[in-house]
């Protein structure tokens, strides 16, 4: 298990972003979290050791873009290259969480089809309003591995109309930090 934060920073989108852990952590280092920037680890999945072997081993799970959102608008210029690395490393499983599922269809590669076998796209919802907005889009999206993440869970949510065999897992959690 490893993290691949290929870009860092995000723009707050909804109530679930109010106490964002990335903004909180960046404030300690006097960094502006609203500025999305490519990181030094951008090419992490395809880095090789001195023997020519990938440093990230086959079968590894890469938690992808946990200091941003893979589908954030500010990263559009880098996403094609990211998909190329994900395609090259079909032996690695990429785990992503997004609040921007409404951008998904505009951000996938031409050969996506019904989804890459090595990619799980999780849709996060924090309240009923965001569930009712995001989950109908998510349910229709061609994604092989789907998971709903209710974090930070800000109130009661009824997900019964969205749960079926296409959802592999449902997670729920609260806010982090002091707020």
Tens of pLDDT, residues 106-157: 999 999 999 999 999 999 999 999 999 999 999 999 999 999 999 999 999 9
Q: Closest by alpha carbon to 70, among 40, 92, 42, 91? A: 42
Quick one: average pLDDT of 38-66?
97
Contact 71, 100 (CB under 8 A): yes
Pair of tokens at residue 31: 């960094």
Cα–Cα distance between 108 and 166 in angstroms, integer?
Answer: 19
Give residue 131's Cα distance to chain centre.
17
Measured at the CA of 62, the angle between CA 60 and CA 66, to 5 degrees, comes to 160
């Amino acid at each position: 298990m490893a993290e691949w934060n290929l870009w860092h920073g995000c723009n707050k989108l909804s109530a679930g972003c109010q106490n964002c852990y990335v903004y909180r952590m960046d404030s300690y280092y006097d960094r502006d979290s609203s500025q999305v920037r490519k990181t030094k680890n951008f090419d992490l999945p395809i880095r090789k050791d001195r023997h020519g072997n990938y440093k990230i081993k086959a079968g590894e799970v890469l938690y992808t873009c946990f200091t941003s959102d893979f589908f954030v608008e500010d990263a559009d210029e880098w996403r094609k290259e990211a998909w190329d690395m994900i395609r090259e490393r079909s032996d690695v499983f990429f785990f992503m969480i997004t609040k921007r599922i409404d951008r998904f269809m505009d951000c996938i590669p031409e050969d996506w089809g019904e989804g890459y076998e090595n990619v799980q796209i999780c849709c996060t919802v924090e309240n009923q309003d965001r569930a009712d907005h995001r989950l109908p889009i998510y349910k229709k999206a061609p994604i092989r591995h789907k998971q709903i993440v209710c974090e930070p869970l800000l109130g009661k949510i009824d997900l019964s109309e969205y749960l079926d065999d296409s959802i592999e897992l449902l997670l729920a959690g609260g806010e982090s930090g002091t707020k």
